[in-house]
Amino acid sequence: DGGITQSPKYLFRKEGQNVTLSCEQNLNHDAMYWYRQDPGQGLRLIYYSQIVNDFQKGDIAEGYSVSREKKESFPLTVTSAQKNPTAFYLCASSNEYRDYYNEQFFGPGTRLTVL
């Protein structure tokens, strides 16, 4: 089945540690996205990538980093510089960034808790 996988589902981190969230898609989509979801605030865009080896900051990129070395993979690193990282993180992908008729497909999410 085609889709997006995120791992792990739950992640615990101590303050001061970096942590990497995995996102893989087998939909052959060009564009991939990372969102952060906090209660009552909807989705906020962290980073997005339209093609391999290229990515852009979203609205809340500070304290996060990404890479896009393969079309299928878009890992997100939450660094120690992120002041309040406890949240639900969602990865998404879509076909053809310039084709705005196409919807985004979402992964199941990773819940990160900082202890």
Partner 1 sequence: GNSVTQMEGPVTLSEEAFLTINCTYTATGYPSLFWYVQYPGEGLQLLLKATKADDKGSNKGFEATYRKETTSFHLEKGSVQVSDSAVYFCALRSPGNQFYFGTGTSLTVIP
- Residues at the site binding partner 1, with contacts judged by CB under 8 A: 4, 6, 33, 40-43, 45, 48, 58, 90, 92, 94, 98, 100-101, 103-109, 111
Q: Which is nearer to partner 1, 16 or 40 (CB)?
A: 40
Q: Which is nearer to partner 1, 58 or 63 (CB)?
A: 58
Report in angstroms how near the CB of residue 45 gets to partner 1 at its nearest.
7
Q: Which is nearer to partner 1, 1 or 15 (CB)?
A: 1
Name the strands in the sheet holding 19-25, side by side, starting at the edge strand that comes first in the sequence.
4-7, 19-25, 76-78, 64-66
Q: SS3 helix, strand, coil % of the chain, rounded to 5?
A: 0, 50, 50
What single-letter amino acid sits at 49?
A: S
Looking up tokens 């996060």 gives 64
Report in angstroms how near the CB of residue 90 gets to partner 1 at its nearest.
6
